Amino acid sequence: MDKVKLMEEAQIAREKAYVPYSKFKVGAALLTTDGQVIHGCNIENSGYSMTNCAERTAFFKAISEGITEFKALAVTGDTEGPISPCGACRQVMAEFCDSDMPVYLTNLNGNVQETTVGELLPGAFSKEDLDYAEGQQ
């Protein structure tokens, strides 16, 4: 699966977005190490804070199906430049992916920013921080 195809998968995932409030559709395509592509879309709620972003939808779908190893992520939305994932999604990426995992951020105009999970959230809080505290007890 090349990055162009993965970004096309994110466009397809975007069509399923449930966005009656923002009307801002986002799509994500998460490539697993065994070659599966997991789609995610944003899912809003009349209680606005219950909204789930496209990226986290993809991760939570995968994890809940027992899929835990990932190779790449593509995200797209109707932004002027490549879409920028929110802080919550960056933290979730940091939980489940190696810091050098590629992330392809794109938009409807075909702008692409190739980055990594580590670049998106340098200094992420992690399991190691909790393990340290545990060892101090």
Does 53 bind Zn ion (CB under 5 A)? Our answer is yes
128 is catalytic: no
Contact pattern from residue 87 through residue 116 relative to ligand DUR, giving x for each residue in contact according to CB under 6 A and a dash for the rest: --x---------------------------
Among 45, 65, 86, 126, binds ligand DUR (CB under 6 A): 86
Does 44 bind ligand DUR (CB under 6 A)? Our answer is yes
CA pseudo-torsion sign 16, 19, 23, 27 = negative
Task: Output 32 or 51, the one with its CB closest to ligand DUR.
Answer: 51
Does 117 bind Zn ion (CB under 5 A)? Our answer is no
Q: What is the Rg, in whole angstroms, of the alpha carbon atoms belonging to the chain?
A: 15
Of 8, 15, 55, 134, the active-site residue reads 55
Task: Output 4 or 45, the one with its CB closest to Zn ion.
Answer: 45
Task: Output 13 or 136, the one with its CB closest to ligand DUR.
Answer: 13
Per-residue buried b or exposed e for 58-87, using 16+ beta carbons within 10 Å of the residue's own CB: bbeebeeeebeebbbbbbbbebeebbebee
Does 38 bind ligand DUR (CB under 6 A)? Our answer is no
Q: CA-CA-CA-CA torsion for 75, 55, 102, 125, nearest 10 degrees?
A: 140
Does 89 bind Zn ion (CB under 5 A)? Our answer is yes
Structure tokens at 25: 């559709």
Contact of residue 27 among Zn ion, ligand DUR, none (CB under 5-8 Å per partner type)? none
- Which residues are the active-site residues? 55
